[in-house]
Every structure is written in structure tokens, then in C-alpha cells.
């Protein structure tokens, strides 16, 4: 009887008072699991509230250093799920596929998604979401990045090596967030302008403008920076 009383207290059985004594019947499995889930959720909510009451506000936004491919994707999913209004994404085909479900869910709840395709796929692969630019990247060979900006307030940026070694950062530090936003937005804007200039940059750009563009070339790239961007535009042309 002591065991039955404990089970009754925990909601696992129900006592039936009969003319000839008491009987116990088990609770339906679905109801039992709902009760267990509620108890666990109550415990989690209480723990979260207690931790929030103890937590002190950070003196300044911190930078979270991240290592490992799985950890990078975990942070990416978390950031996407926390986004409420606007999400900027710069990604390759593989990471776009890994994040496709989270990105689709974000779109479904009304988040405006803008995607910069870093693999410059000749055709849309289906993993990228929202407004997509497939010929905006200017990465050197061998560079592989994943970048997210959530609600213009928090960013995640990771570099992925050939063996999936990852070094990444996540932060709300204003400078880091703004630099990341500007990279994605400026890449989109530059591509739009270059498409209009396709085939006639010499007739439109002043000599001084061309000299400035050529002067910012990276030493490891064949030809000038402007030539490289022309190549991107030619790839994007229908």
C-alpha cells in the first residue's frame, strides 16, 4: 500500500473507492507523459528564473570564441531561431543545406532573410532563402565562410577549413556587428552596380576611379581587383 500511495501522489495511478474496498488503476500512458513533461517544464522554468535573478548584466558585450564545425552549426541554429525581424546570411552550399530547416522556419514566421551565396552557384541549390545574390562574393580560392547577422544586433562569423576545422566568433559588440552588416550589404550593392556597368566600365568609370579600384587588389589574386569583379559580373550575366 505504501508503494501505491506514492504512485497515487505522483499521478501514476488513480484510487477507486469500491463497496468492498479500494482499487488502483494506472493512468493512461499519454496522460502520464504529459504530467511528467509539465513537471520537468516547471522545473526548467523555475531554474531559468532563478538564474536570471542571479545574473548580473555584462559590463560590455563579450565576444564568444567558438571551435568545431558542430558547435558552429549549433550557434547558427540558435541565432536563426532567436531572430525576430531581419536576418543577413552569407553561406556556401553545404551550410545552406544544413541550416535550411531553420531558415525556412524563420521565413515562415515573417523574418526578412537576405542571402549572399559564397559558392557562386550557377543555379539556386534550394538551400538559400529569401533575397538571394549568387554572384556577390569576392573570396579568394580556398576561403570558406559562414556569416549570420540577427536583427542588426548580433553576429556569428566562422571560417571553415578543408578538414572542417572551425574558428568562429559570436558577439553583440557594435563594431563587429556593423562591419559584418556592411560586408554583406556592400557586396550586394556592388554587384547590382557592376551588373549595370557590364561591358562598359571604361566608358562610365573615371580614370581615377579605376586607379583606386585597381590599387586595392590583394597580392594573391591574378589580375586587378576590378578585373576580378568584371569576371563575377560576366558569370552573373544571362
pLDDT, one tens digit per residue, over 31-40 is 778 877 887 8
Q: What is the pLDDT of residue 135?
A: 62
Q: What is the pLDDT of residue 5?
A: 73
pTM of the model: 0.67
Q: What percentage of the chain reaches a pLDDT higher than 90? A: 33
pLDDT in tens, 7-22: 777 777 777 777 777 7
- Do residues 158 and 139 both lie within one domain? yes
How far, CA to CA in Å, does 45 sit from each of 10, 25, 50, 215?
20, 31, 9, 57
Rounded to whole angstroms, how far apart are CA atoms 179 and 48? 33
- Do residues 34 and 114 both lie within one domain? no
Q: What is the pLDDT of residue 14?
A: 73
Q: What is the pLDDT of residue 50?
A: 85
pLDDT in tens, 45-85: 888 888 877 766 666 788 899 999 999 999 999 999 999 99
DSSP category for residue 35: H
Rounded to whole angstroms, how far apart are CA atoms 227 and 92? 23
Helix axes 225-236, 207-215, angle to 10 degrees: 100
Domain count, the chain: 3
Give the residue with greater pLDDT, 72 vs 236: 72
Q: What is the pLDDT of residue 39?
A: 79
Q: What does the mean pLDDT of the chain come to?
A: 80
Confidence of residue 219 (pLDDT cuts 50, 70, 90): low
Q: What is the pLDDT of residue 230?
A: 60
The CATH number that applies at residue 18 is: 1.10.10.10
Q: What percentage of the chain reaches a pLDDT higher than 70? A: 74
Is the predicted pLDDT of residue 181 greater than 60, yes or no? yes
- Do residues 9 and 95 both lie within one domain? no
| Among the ranges given (75-79, 129-133, 179-183), the one the predictor scored with the smallest mean pLDDT | 129-133
Is the predicted pLDDT of residue 128 greater than 70, yes or no? yes
* Residue range(s) defining the domain that contains residue 184: 63-197
Give the residue with greater pLDDT, 196 vs 41: 41
Is the predicted pLDDT of residue 158 greater than 90, yes or no? yes
Average pLDDT of the segment spanning 85-101 = 92
The last residue of one of the domains, among 197, 214, 229, is 197
Helix (H) or strand (E) holding 64: strand 63-67
Q: Retrieve residue 80's grid coordinates.
A: 536563426
The CATH number that applies at residue 186 is: 3.30.870.10
Is the predicted pLDDT of residue 152 greater than 90, yes or no? yes
The last residue of one of the domains, among 37, 54, 71, is 54
- Do residues 185 and 67 both lie within one domain? yes
* Count of Cβ atoms closer than 10 Å to residue 130 Cβ: 16
Amino acid at each position: 500500500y505504501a508503494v501505491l500511495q506514492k504512485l497515487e501522489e505522483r499521478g501514476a495511478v488513480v484510487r477507486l473507492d469500491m463497496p468492498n474496498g479500494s482499487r488502483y488503476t494506472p493512468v493512461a500512458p499519454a496522460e502520464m507523459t504529459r504530467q511528467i513533461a509539465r513537471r520537468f517544464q516547471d522545473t526548467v522554468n523555475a531554474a531559468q528564473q532563478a538564474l536570471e535573478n542571479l545574473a548580473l548584466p555584462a559590463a560590455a558585450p563579450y565576444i564568444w570564441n567558438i571551435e568545431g564545425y558542430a558547435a558552429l552549426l549549433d550557434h547558427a541554429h540558435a541565432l536563426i531561431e532567436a531572430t525576430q525581424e531581419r536576418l543577413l546570411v552569407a553561406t556556401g552550399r553545404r551550410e545552406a543545406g544544413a541550416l535550411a530547416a531553420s531558415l525556412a522556419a524563420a521565413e515562415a514566421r515573417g523574418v526578412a532573410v537576405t542571402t549572399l551565396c559564397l559558392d557562386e552557384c550557377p543555379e539556386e541549390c534550394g538551400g538559400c532563402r529569401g533575397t538571394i545574390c549568387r554572384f556577390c562574393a569576392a573570396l579568394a580560392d580556398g576561403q570558406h565562410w559562414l556569416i549570420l547577422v540577427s536583427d542588426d544586433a548580433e553576429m556569428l562569423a566562422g571560417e571553415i577549413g578543408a578538414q572542417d576545422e572551425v574558428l568562429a566568433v559570436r558577439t553583440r559588440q557594435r563594431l563587429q556587428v556593423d562591419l559584418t552588416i556592411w560586408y554583406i550589404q556592400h557586396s550586394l550593392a556592388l554587384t547590382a552596380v557592376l551588373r549595370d556597368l557590364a561591358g562598359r566600365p571604361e566608358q562610365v568609370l573615371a580614370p581615377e576611379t579605376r586607379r583606386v579600384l585597381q590599387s586595392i587588389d590583394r597580392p594573391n589574386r591574378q589580375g586587378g581587383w576590378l578585373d576580378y569583379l568584371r569576371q563575377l559580373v560576366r558569370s552573373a550575366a544571362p
